[in-house]
Amino acid sequence: MASATRRAFIGGAAVAAAGMQGVGAQERPEDNVRFVLVHGTGHGGWCWKFVRDILAGQGHQVFTPTLTGCGERSHLLEPDIGLDTHITDIANVLEWEELEDVVLVGHSFGGMVISGVADRARNRLRHLVYLDAVVPRHGDSMLTARRDLSAEEIAANEEQLRRMSPDGHYIAGFSAERFGIPPEPAEAAAWVNRRLTPHPLKTWLDPVKFENGGEEGLPCTFIRCTEPALPGGLSVHAKYAQEHPGWRYAELKTGHDAMVTEPQACADLFLEAARSS
């Protein structure tokens, strides 16, 4: 019998194919939503394939940009790519595609990016969704956003991170299993592993700077992935969202890369967030 993960992966592929056939074959609904989906460390726009095609198949407009130096843009990888580069990547999608009333989704490290975009372009945004993602404060980097750590623990984490960057510029060593995708079914893990790329180290070390409060004042949703929960500081960000009166909170019983293992559930929650605004 196929495992639940196998069913999710194979089901996602089937829905993706159906969705691609349906786009253009059906009329766009009056309540169509514009989504911009931002990936996390080592990923690319490819990781949203199944979620994108589910939403597009329902008539929604979906953008899945790849951050500079990642995925199919890995040929642009160079040491000076920082957090501001990635924030600009997404802010420019909103600007050049002339997008408004957007549901902006960030996965993992993508939470740093969408918070920075919200600070620059809040008038273009309808709702922010943090999919098992970091929710930074002004001045936070990916390391200092671990709000439960002492200065000594942050320094130790930075040392460990630099060990994961043997050339001093790029984070390497991530795997599908690290992102909560089990080794079975083999095709799901293999699909992710062959697409993961090194990630520019500077984007993790740079602080995010807010001039307009970041995400504060915008409708926000946090989605926590619980089985298995990614070790580290995401539980602190989930707790923040649960206790914040202006936030919506939901959980998915799947691993960190929920867009791969549970694409339909992700699509449903993104739509719920959009329609709650």
- Residues that are catalytic: 108
Residue 63 tokens, joined: 């953008």
CB 69 within 8 A of CB 78: yes
Region for residue 244 given its phi and psi (left: phi exceeds 0; alpha: psi -120 to 50; beta: otherwise): beta
User: If you search the block for the tokens 């000076």, which residue do you land on?
Assistant: 80
Residue 38 tokens, joined: 């931002």
Residue 234 tokens, joined: 């995401």
The residues that bridge with 125 in the sheet, in sequence order, are 102
Handedness of CA 89, 91, 92, 98 (dihedral sign): positive
Q: Give dist(CA 137, CA 97) in Å, integer.
A: 28
β 34-38/247-252 pair status: unpaired
Q: Give dist(CA 184, CA 2) in Å, integer.
A: 10
Distances from the Cα of 213 to the Cα of 92, 119, 136, 195, angstroms = 20, 6, 11, 35
Region for residue 232 given its phi and psi (left: phi exceeds 0; alpha: psi -120 to 50; beta: otherwise): left
Q: Give dist(CA 108, CA 10) in Å, integer.
A: 24
